[in-house]
Amino acid sequence: MRRLRAVLTQRCPRCLEGRIWRGFLSMNTACPTCDLAFEREPGYFTGAMVVSYALAVPVLGAIVIGLMTIGELDAVPALLIGDTAYLLLVPLIFRYSRVLWLHFDWKVDPDRGADTRR
């Protein structure tokens, strides 16, 4: 339950307290509480792109299907309106894809005592 709360509030995967984000689209380089370095190596967040895709497809699909069924729109207008509406969610999906990637990586490889900023 604590881990789920940490993901939802975008907290550090190690201490579950420090903020991952310092601004709207800018990350802290390390956890302000436990000093865990968030970017393990160059290209570390490439895996977050897969998570982003896994989040984006169902969200966009739900928007488009909702517009087609509830809004009774044809496919092309539903896609155009859905894509435009989805653009508003891109920053949120970007943030959560990185948070989910950090927590997934921490669960797979938790013993990273050396992964602190120098």
Query: What is the largest distance, in Å, between two alpha-carbon atoms of the chain?
Result: 57
Is the residue at 113 inside a domain? no
Residues 73, 66: Cα–Cα separation, whole Å: 9
Residue 64 belongs to domain spanning: 2-108
Rg of the Cα atoms in the chain: 17
Mean pLDDT across 79-84: 94
How many distinct structural domains can be found in the chain? 1
Average pLDDT, the chain: 91
Q: How far is 80 from 100, CA to CA, in rounded Å?
A: 29
For the stretch 6-61, pLDDT in tens is 999 999 999 999 999 999 989 999 999 999 999 888 999 999 999 999 999 999 99
Q: What is the pLDDT of residue 111?
A: 64
Interatomic CA distance for residues 52 and 96, integer angstroms:
8
Tokens of 100: 């989910």
Of the pLDDT bands very low, low, confident and very high (cuts 50, 70, 90), residue 112 is low
pLDDT tens digits for range 97-110: 999 999 999 999 87
**Considering the domain boundaries, does residue 104 fall inside one?**
yes
User: What is the value of pTM for the model shown?
Assistant: 0.84
Question: pLDDT tens, 86-97?
Answer: 999 999 999 999
CB 71 within 8 A of CB 78: yes
Question: Cα–Cα distance between 115 and 18 in angstroms, integer?
Answer: 15
